[in-house]
Amino acid sequence: SLTAGVVAVQGDVEEHAAAIERAAAARDHAVTVHEIRESGIVPDCDLLAMPGGESTTISRLVHSEGIAPEIRDHVAAGKPLLATCAGLIVASSDPNDDRVDDLGLIDVGVERNAFGRQKDSFEAPLDVAGLDEPYPAVFIRAPAIDSVGDADVLATWDDRPVAVRDGPVVGTAFHPELTPDSRIHGLAFFENQAAAVPAVEDAR
Ligand code: GLN
């Protein structure tokens, strides 16, 4: 069966675990989800999520707990990572904030709390590359992606990129774990041709 990890030093962890379980069940994968607060677990994971929350806190703790180099190794091995909202900020190559020690895994620059500055949170029907129907995207004090290097834009809102892919890593400015719709998790973990997950046969 599959082993999944949710970086759980801070943020909306349980919702990601539930979304991973839904996306896996939809594909007949058995999955065990670990909450990651210390080093030593990530190396066993086939797929990883890094949730929304508070990016300075998440970045500080993934570094101090020794999880950061393990996440980098996971991605270097071609295994999928979904990084959402604060997770996107931490995974980016330029958070534009000295208090965030980025992982440099998604070649984008971001600006914290820039999206929907007028309105703290909103929901938008997003057209996402690879999905047939619009995705109901929940934005909460979301970062804006203000520069895109060697990464693919999967969705835009208000003419700005809000979902990107850099090889095995998918990053979203919004929160795909907060709606029952697990298609973004499916896209990131099971339908990204640039990422390696065990075949269904092996995972049963
Ligand atoms: N505003 C948060 C930050 O910059 C991110 C918001 C979120 O993850 N919902 O860290």
Residue 180 Cα, ligand 1 centroid: separation in angstroms?
A: 21
* Residue 42 DSSP symbol: G
- With beta carbons less than 8 A apart as the criterion, state whether 7 and 48 touch: yes
Which of 112, 123, 145, 175 gets mutated to test ligand 1 (max ligand atoms within 8 A of its CB)?
112
H-helix segments, the chain: 13-25, 55-64, 68-76, 86-91, 183-190, 200-203
Matching CATH number, 2-203, of 2.40.10.120, 3.40.50.880, 1.10.730.10, 3.20.20.70: 3.40.50.880
- Tell me, what's the pLDDT at 150? 97
More confident residue, 11 or 175: 175
Burial class of residue 28 (count of CB atoms within 10 Å of its CB; 0-12, 13-18, 19+) = exposed
Atom of ligand 1 nearest to the CA of 140: 9
- Tell me, what's the pLDDT at 66? 98
Predicted confidence band of residue 116 (pLDDT cuts 50, 70, 90) = low
Q: Is the pLDDT of residue 28 over 50?
A: yes
β-strands 169-172, 152-157 pairing:
unpaired
Q: Is 177 a catalytic residue?
A: yes
Respond yes or no on whether ipTM tops 0.90.
yes
User: Which residues, including other chains, have CB under 8 Å from residue 14's CB and lie 6 or more apart?
Assistant: none
Cross-strand pairs, 161: 156
Mean pLDDT value of segment 117-124: 81
Q: Is the pLDDT of residue 132 over 90?
A: yes
- Tell me, what's the pLDDT at 122? 92
Catalytic member of 63, 175, 185, 201? 175
